Amino acid sequence: MPVHVNSDDASTQLPEIQGYRLLRLINHGGMSTVYLGEQLALSREVAIKVMMPQALADEVSRRRFENEVRTIARLEHPNVVRIHELGRTRDGLPFYTMPYLSRGHLGQRKFVDEQGIPDEAKVRETAHALFAALEYAHSRGVVHRDVKAENVLFDEAERPLLADFGIALRRGFGPRVTAAGMAVGSTAYMAPEQARGEEVDGRADLYSLGVVIWEMLTGQLPFRAADALSMAVMHAQDPIPKLPPHLRHWQRFMNRALAKNPDQRFQDVTQMRGAMDAIRPRRQFPQLMRVTAALRKKRVARALAVAAVASAIAVTVGTSVGLFDRSSDGEFFRADTQPASPAVSPAVTVRADPTEAMLEPLPEAPLQRTLERARAQLEQRKLTAPEGDNAYATALEAWHADSTNPEVQQVIAAVTDAIAEELVRNLGEGNDTRARDYYMRAQNLARQTGGTGAGALTRLQERTTQTLQARMEDAVERFDRKAAQRTARVAKDFGLPAAVTRRFTAQAEEIPRQGQTMPGDPARGVFREGEDGAIVIGRRPVDRGDYGRFVEATRRASSLCRERVSPLRMLAPRDWKSPGFEQGASDPVVCVSMADAEAYARWYSAQTGHRYRVPTASEARQVASDISGRNVSLWLRDCGRTCVQRQVGGPSWRSKQLMRPLDADRGYDDVGFRLVREL
């Protein structure tokens, strides 16, 4: 790890700060200078951090910095270095004071011995302290932005403390750059998005902490470059290096901790800490590792090196076989001792040949068991339930075990496709709440796995859009305004493009409301919602012109028009063409029977592609008729005393009765009909 040598140059001019006596320079960086000083009122040593003029070039940036320091000063945690006081030097430069921790920083400590073997227990202990500090800060909206070895200090109890929140930001403030345009932070530890000057969140701190853990494990940084710009480029573009063989059990953790894309990293401290705690150290052979390292270091002759290594291997393996020579269940090798044969010296123990045991199939890996469990849950359609036994949760478990495994990615895609099927089915059946739950699960699965299964998620979105479009078309066709409005609202919850949701909303608004006149209806029909669905009740009766086209097309014979008994009228019978009084083409047709009216409704339905019929009495009462010329009554579907008779509704020029039964097989010169369109 790099060691920073503190300057004690007595000739360095120390700033003047009221209430403090500055003793010497401790450290100097591009943004600030740290001094050892004495707080006169309390006679205690403190570290005083004075910001450089170029770091805060104007009064606005200085005041903003001071406001941020006040926020940081509120952090009270055992693993966070406290801020005592905030102020300005005599020259007007902002400063703040902290406890002086004389036991140095993490960069001055070694976690790796001469043979390159790290003290993993100490690494984990230190990492846990930093996890606790960052979790506390993040929960209060503070992002550190400069997590590095030099900012991890140790107190007298050897407790690690995270320091230098001075460039930290509360979330929501956006990126900060220096006057020279360089992103704030140390590029050796800096997340790619932070180096680009983008807005960052706590995941940038977790990236930097990953670099610190790498450094503790290996004794060096994952990327090394000659200058800060080259270092930042390596973090942004170069693949994550491979750890040495004896640290391969950390590789999967590092691949996620140092992922270039924040969405593919650990999303919070809890995830990262849990993943580290799940790392199980591999069985090591320290004696073999140390002999090999010593031989490599001394560069002895090849033959001697091979002999020494072989000797060490023999000793180690012999010891291992002895360790595993036990009768308990789960043993590695079972090497039963055989009785000595007469030809063998009694001092020699003969062991069974372990070849057969070595050729036995290896136990199934935990990841494979997880994948098989997920596939079984998919077959059983246990997608998101029951809790703890569903494909969604198991797929996430597999991804956390090995996010780069192709089989894991295939399972995630399969889970997403299965969720899409259930989502579409529920959307089609109108179970919007359940469908919304499936949609959120699919989105969360993609988010938590860093976009794994993106193709399946795209297919889900396409199928969702198609299903909602079909729902809207059906609602429009049925003139179901409520269903159309519900579909338009649901579309917003399922991520449909804004243009589609706007179109849905417009289509819903075009459907007439209860009691509105149907646009474009020749009978000026009124929209109504009945028990059996929506209908349009025509205001205008069928006129002579329309009925004439029906007769011409169907060759239907005219019904006898029943009149009052009169010798003259019996000698000159009437029909719809000659009802006994003058009528124009737009006047209501009369002298038609109920059978004529029903026949016309069937013909007109075939001509228009819609469903028409004669209204019932209750439907007719909802909408008054609009009759030109002589007032006429209108046929209704309701039976009279028997169904040989049908009711006619409304007064006519012959009768003032509102409802009367008439024989349905005859026409009347004061009775016409109107139609209802079923939607």
Between CA 357 and CA 325 the distance in angstroms is 13
φ, ψ of residue 46 to 5 degrees: the values are -140, 160
Between CA 638 and CA 241 the distance in angstroms is 86
* Coil, strand or helix at 121: helix
Between CA 164 and CA 153 the distance in angstroms is 10
User: What one-letter code names the amino acid at 82?
Assistant: R
What are the residues whose beta carbons fall under 8 Å from the beta carbon of 573, sequence distance 6 or more? Answer: 560, 561
Task: Give yes or no: 146 in active site.
Answer: yes
Between CA 297 and CA 303 the distance in angstroms is 15
User: Other CB atoms closer than 10 Å to residue 472's CB: what's the count?
Assistant: 22
**What's the DSSP call for residue 360?**
S
Closest CA to 419 of 494, 358, 349, 341: 494
User: What one-letter code names the amino acid at 290?
Assistant: R
* Coil, strand or helix at 611: strand
**Strands (DSSP E) found in 184-246:** none
Q: Which of 91, 146, 205, 626 is catalytic?
A: 146
Q: Are 72 and 168 in contact (CB under 8 A)?
A: yes
| Residue 441 Cα distances to 17, 401, 415, 492, 501, angstroms | 57, 20, 10, 17, 22
Q: Are 271 and 263 in contact (CB under 8 A)?
A: no
User: What one-letter code names the amino acid at 49?
Assistant: K
Closest CA to 77 of 135, 19, 5: 135
φ, ψ of residue 603 to 5 degrees: the values are -65, -45
Between CA 598 and CA 612 the distance in angstroms is 9
Between CA 562 and CA 665 the distance in angstroms is 10
User: What one-letter code names the amino acid at 4?
Assistant: H
Q: Are 129 and 159 in contact (CB under 8 A)?
A: yes
> Looking at the annotation, which residues are catalytic?
146
